[in-house]
Chains A and B, each alone.
Chain A
């Protein structure tokens, strides 16, 4: 089954404690992306990657890091989480830079 898998789905952490949200896709897609979704603000892109070892900032990259060492994986790293990073995070992928974007189920992060 074609899918984008994120882990963890739910996480409560404390300010400053580094965390990583993993994302994996099994569709051999070149393009992967991270979004955060907040009430009243909609989906906002954090980072995206056009291919292995190629990453670029989206609209709200501050406080986040990503890496793309393998085609299927695109982890989101919060080096020092802060309460304003409490949000619902989605990983997504698509074949190239156009076309249908497939989303994961989401990771709800709470930073206390």
Chain B
């Protein structure tokens, strides 16, 4: 079983839709949970960072972590065409390396 599983998509939604992106992980030692956004031809950039179960909100973005189910989610409200990108979950054991999901490509059409 891979350490971090993420549906590659693409996920196509109309502008204004609520988007749900998800990852599952297998290693219960993971402590820190991140979402990165990667635009085409660019490096990934951090979008959300959390280390506990529950929800964290930042504007239109909400990160949700359920450690008991080993499940993390990113919700995007009122999605915009500028949100079109690949979203990568990243999970950190707190030692030396991040484990990335393969990324979900999101396309928001006007």
Contact = CB atoms under 8 A, between A and B. Distances in A.
B45 A103 contact: yes
A53 interface: no
Nearest to A94: B98
Contacts, number: 48
Contacts of A45: 97-98
A55 to B, nearest CB: 11
Contact of B43 (A42, A50, A104): A104
Nearest to B8: A40
Interface residues of A, number: 24
B96 A42 contact: no
A74 interface: no
A28 interface: no
Given A100-B46, A103-B45, A106-B43, A41 B96 contact: no
Contacts of A40: 8, 102
B96 A50 contact: yes
B50 to A, nearest CB: 12
Nearest to A91: B43
Contacts of A106: 41-43
A62 interface: no
Nearest to B51: A98
B92 interface: yes
Interface in A72-103: 90, 92, 97-103
A7 to B, nearest CB: 14
Closest 8 CB pairs of A and B: A103-B43, A42-B102, A43-B100, A100-B46, A97-B96, A103-B44, A105-B43, A98-B94
